[in-house]
Amino acid sequence: MSPIDFGREALSDLRASKLRSLLTALGVIIGVGSVTLLLSLGEGVRSQIGSTFADLGTTRLVVAPSGGSLGATASTITLDDVTAIAGVAGVQDVAASLTIPLKVQGSGALLTMPVIGTGTAYFVIAGDDVVAGAPFTGDGGAVLDESAVKSLFGTSSADDVIGREVKVGTKTVKVTGVVADPAVGGGSGNFGGGAAQSIGIVYLPIEPFMKQTNQQYVSQVSLRATEPGRVEQVRIAVRDLLASRHGLQDVQVISLARILDRVNEALSVITGFLAALAGISLLVGGIGIMNIMLAVVAERTREIGIIRALGATQQAVIGQFLAEAVLISLLGGAIGLALALLAAAVIERAMGVPAQPSASIIGLALGVSTLVGVVFGVLPAWRAARLDPIRALRHD
């Protein structure tokens, strides 16, 4: 008999006991569905994170105080340090930033919101689009993001607020520009700095802002390398420069590329762990298939004796029962895959969590389900083939 014949016979046997076949495949359905869904969500989240970091720029670096997270300890970074960093080979743009929450008053509201003192290069490095006006004029003026425009003036028109006044702390300044809201919740120039809020951000020129707030040090420094291939070289050069000026434990230099690598590593470990847990269902499903197939062999002992008496070889019997086990497992895998794709679409629509069930994930799901059928179908098939034809014919 050919593999096609084995498949036809197996399909006919499954049709004769649909409910039992479905229950037999249940473990594989749950296992394949869980693994496929988790891997798809993992790939989707990884892709979304990669896209976010790509939008921020792969040549970006940040200098911040040492600590468990950026900005976790008091800063000792000065504007002189910023000038020194600008002179490092491979550095294209540099911008210091100082973030302090202050009361800000517009024509429509008085709010406490994050105020960032910085320079015009800050917006270039962060990739924040200027939607109206221009960032700063000389040492004066203020720049708002779009959320701040709505919060302070009650309008969504960026052009309407250019030239209007806002009171930042005790100082009144004119709005010279409006930039798009930061793409990441940590603020335009912060990695997890917590500057961005839904009410928006106000930007002021850094030197007047430091004098106004009586600050000697900046919160952090954003910089950009001339090309991606020089990021690590620039990171090391800036680190060594600041080590000579501050000491090794004083500041840290972090690149987006290194952060992305760490995030991907952590995400891979978590996804793999969860997928392994879900894979236990596949093991349980395989054991279920083996037990049911052993019961089927016992039920069909007389039938096996008849086909052996008619000339069927042991290989033919093994092929028949193995094909049935594989078909059960493969159908279970296909059902689990379909349910996983449906669940991924529902989760993405309802919760906004992206899912990317790639061709490799789908192929892996179907391949694993086939392998489960082969591995756990061998014992029942072997037992069926080993039955003595005479004793099998006498079996009631």
Phi, psi of 53 (to 5 degrees): -65, -35
Q: Residue 114's closest CA among 194, 223, 221?
A: 194
Distance of CA 292 to the CA centre of its chain: 40
Determine which of 60-74, 102-116, 246-260, 293-307 has the lowest per-residue pLDDT on average: 60-74
What whole-number distance in Å separates Cα of residue 76 and Cα of residue 81? 10
pLDDT in tens, 13-34: 666 666 777 777 788 888 888 8
Range in 91-100, 191-200, 201-210 with the lowest mean pLDDT = 191-200
Mean pLDDT, to the nearest integer, of 201-209? 92
Q: Give the position of tokens 């497992």.
A: 329
- Percent of the chain scoring above 90 in pLDDT: 12
At residue 70, the 3 state secondary structure works out as: coil
Cα–Cα distance for residue pair 230/122, rounded to 1 Å: 20
pLDDT digits (tens, 9 = 90+) for 174-196: 999 899 887 654 444 444 333 44
Q: Which two tokens mark 382? A: 């072997």
What is the pTM (predicted TM-score) of this model? 0.59
Predicted pLDDT of residue 13: 61
Say how far apart CA 334 and CA 386 lie, in whole Å.
32
**CB proximity list for 121: less than 8 A, separation 6 or greater:** 93, 94, 95
Give the domain ranges of the chain: 3-52+262-394, 97-218
| 3-state SS assignment for residue 162 | coil
In tens, the pLDDT along 214-235 reads: 998 898 898 988 887 888 888 8
3-state secondary structure of 91: strand
| Distance in angstroms (rounded) separating the CA atoms of residues 198 and 167 | 19
pLDDT at residue 143, as a whole number: 92
- Cβ pair 295, 23 in contact under 8 A: no
Q: Which residue has the tokens 């919740």?
A: 185
In the predicted model, is pLDDT for residue 345 greater than 70?
A: yes
Q: Phi and psi (nearest 5°) for 133?
A: 65, -145
* Average pLDDT, rounded, for the chain: 79
Residue with token string 């290989």: 315
| Among 60-69, 284-293, 373-382, the least confident range | 60-69
238's tokens: 């800036």
> 226: which DSSP letter?
S
